[in-house]
Amino acid sequence: GAGVSQTPSNKVTEKGKYVELRCDPISGHTALYWYRQSLGQGPEFLIYFQGTGAADDSGLPNDRFFAVRPEGSVSTLKIQRTERGDSAVYLCASSEVAGGQQETQYFGPGTRLLVL
């Protein structure tokens, strides 16, 4: 079946602009996660959704970052007033059970964000 999809695959923006990154999880997966991977690092957790609600947003770096999942499927990560340090690959993952700790997380291809 179809895996996790993310759009756009690449996004170039200017410092100070607003961006939206979209994630379409695997059909039927109730848990959705956002991670950020900077150059030379492993992915770092940002936020986790169980259904429509953000169950854990402790990884969001500051209040410029916000994510929604209004219908419990597609999610959008929103970044306001982008800064050059926001440049990274933003990865989305989903898992079958609503946040089962030992549920495998399946990742999308990521959105490569470049802030000039």
Partner 1 sequence: DQQVKQNSPSLSVQEGRISILNCDYTNSMFDYFLWYKKYPAEGPTFLISISSIKDKNEDGRFTVFLNKSAKHLSLHIVPSQPGDSAVYFCAATGAGSYQLTFGKGTKLSVIP
Q: Residue 21 has which token pair? A: 């990154």
Beta strand 75-79 pairing with 65-68: antiparallel
Buried (b) or exposed (e) across 54-86, using 16+ Cβ within 10 A?
beeeeebeeeebebebeebbebebebeebeeeb
Q: Measured between alpha carbons, how far is 104 from 106 in angstroms, rounded to an integer?
A: 6
DSSP 8-state assignment for residue 111? E
Give the footprint of partner 1 on this chain (CB under 8 A): 4, 6, 31, 33, 35, 40-45, 48, 55-56, 58-59, 91, 93, 99, 101-102, 104-110
